[in-house]
Homo-oligomer: A and B are copies of this chain.
Amino acid sequence: MENYLFRRLSTAAALDEDDRRAVEQLHERVGLFEPKKEIIGYGERPECLHLMMQGWAARYKSLPNGTRQIVGFLIPGDFCGLNMQILGTMDHSIVALSRCEVASISAKQFDKLTVRLARTLWWASLVDEAVLREWLLNIGRRESYEAAAHLLCELYCRLEQVGLVDNGQIILPLTQEGLGDALGITAIHTNRVLQRLRREGLITFKSGTLTIHDFDALCEAGGFDPEYLHLKGPQVGATATSAFHFLE
C-alpha cells in the first residue's frame, strides 16, 4: 500500500529507510468512515491522533443560522488532530467527504515518530497554516471565479505531491454545495462559476472527478502561484541553521 504520509514528508526532508519504517509502523488500527460521517466533532477531545490513509475529508466550522465554512481539506497523508493533542478541545469539526480510511495513532507511537522527525512534522503543520492564509486572501479579496480556479489549482497540486493525479484528472468528491462552502459562496453561485470555467474550456467537473484541461490557463485565471504550498520543502542554504536543532 502506498504510504502517502511518507511521500509527503519526503518532499520536506531527505528521509532514509529507518524513517520510512518509522512512518510505516505508525498506525495500529484503521477506521472506516462513510461519506458525511463525522470523524471528529466540535468540542471533542480526541485521545489519539488521526491520520488520513485513504479518501477525502473536510474541516469546517458552522454558524447558528446553519451555514458552514469549510476551512480545510484533508487528503491521504494529512493529520487530523495533530493540533488538538496540544490545544485540548476541537474548535471545529471534521467530516468525511468520501468513503475514507483513518488510522489511529497512539500517543506513544506518535512520540516515537516525533523524536525522529519533529522538525519535519512541524514543517507539515506550518504548511497547513500557510494554506489557511492563502484561503483568507482567496475568500476575502478574490472574485468567486478567480477563487474557484485558485482552489482547484491548489487541490491539484496537493494531490500531485502525494501521487494522486492521473493524467490531469483528480478525484474530488465534492458537491457544488461543498465547493461553495469552501469558497464562502452559495451552491447556486458555485454552479455559475463552474459553468464559466467549463465554458472557457479550463475544466470538466462531473460525478466527483475533476479534469483540468489547461492547467496553466487555470493558474492564470486564479492568479495561482504554488509557492505558499512549500511543495519543495524547506529551502536550505542561506541562514536558518535550525533554530531548532534541539529537535533533531
Contacts and interface: CB of A to CB of B under 8 A. Distances in A.
B107 A242 contact: yes
Interface residues of A, number: 76
Contact of A247 (B29, B45, B87, B88): B29
Given A136-B69, A245-B111, A230 B129 contact: no
A132 interface: yes
A240 B45 contact: yes
Identical chains bound together, number: 2
A140 B184 contact: yes
B33 A243 contact: yes
A62 B159 CA distance: 26
A63 interface: yes
A107 B242 CA distance: 7
A20 interface: no
A233 to B, nearest CB: 8
Interface string A204-248: 000000000000000000010001101001111011111111110
A61 B111 contact: no
A39 interface: yes
